[in-house]
Homo-oligomer: A and B are copies of this chain.
Amino acid sequence: MARWKAIVAYDGTDFSGWQVQPHKRTVQAEVEKGLTRLHKGEKKKVVASGRTDAGVHARGQVIHFDSALQIPGSRWPSAFASVLPSDIQVQAAERVSDDFHARFDATAKEYRYFIRIGRMRDLFLRNYVHHVYANDIDHGAMQRALRALEGRHDFSAFCASQTHVQDKVRELTTVTYTQTGEYEGYFRFYGEGFLYNMVRIIVGTAIDIGLHRLAVADMERILHSRDRRQAAQTVPGQGLYLWSVEYERRS
């Protein structure tokens, strides 16, 4: 028996998120079903770095699983391809020590959130970016506002109110917005850990600043209020990508 770490990409459009739920199509359920097929019916489980919600995509989700199959790392992607649906892709796999844990050993994650602005949405991007219905947006104001968030803060204001986590202090190393076209851009979040819906509430607040519904200084004011009701609405899942997960190299 060996433990494997694998990088998994998925198109979240047709999934009710990562985690197994009764009567729902989820990524975890499909990956476990595929892995079970590769093991000729022997029930297999996988552990991910964390959940993703309905509609949210992953470029670089990381999972671990145990297997007695004699498959070299370079062959796992094609083995998985033979049993997975077309909206999940295992991109790489490597053997890791038996105590490696995809969730507990993760040291940092990067999320990206893509937006597009205009009076008419781009049909072909409807499941892959968040469309902001407006004539224009102030890209610079969003960039400036995000600076208040870098560093170690209590992010209670940007955390879904139903969360039961006590400690809402997190450190975000990078929070940036990059304009990629006159009407498009993406947010990048890099940090050791994230609260539930944190990225999507921050992005919603930044967009309100870009639309001049809020001022640049309001981002800092809202952060310090620690009051979820001060921040803007949670933006939808389809613009969000779990971009990568990092693990400290153990020597």
Contacts and interface: CB of A to CB of B under 8 A. Distances in A.
A88 B126 CA distance: 11
Tell me whether chain A's interface is mostly helix, strand or loop, or mixed.
Answer: mixed
Nearest to A119: B77
Contact of A87 (B87, B88, B123): B123
Contact of A126 (B57, B86, B91, B121): B86
Interface in A72-107: 77, 86-89, 91
A46 B126 CA distance: 25
How many monomers of this protein are in the complex? Answer: 2
Contact of A123 (B89, B121, B123, B124): B89
A111 interface: no
A11 B243 CA distance: 26
A215 B10 CA distance: 38
Contacts of A189: none
Contact of A124 (B120, B126, B128): B128
Nearest to A8: B123
Contacts of A128: 124
Contact of A57 (B57, B87, B120, B124): B124
Given A57-B124, A87-B126, A89-B120, 13 more contacts: A9-B123, A10-B123, A11-B123, A11-B124, A11-B126, A77-B120, A86-B126, A87-B123, A88-B123, A89-B121, A89-B123, A91-B120, A124-B128
16 contacts: A9-B123, A10-B123, A11-B123, A11-B124, A11-B126, A57-B124, A77-B120, A86-B126, A87-B123, A87-B126, A88-B123, A89-B120, A89-B121, A89-B123, A91-B120, A124-B128
Interface of A: 9-11, 57, 77, 86-89, 91, 120-121, 123-124, 126, 128
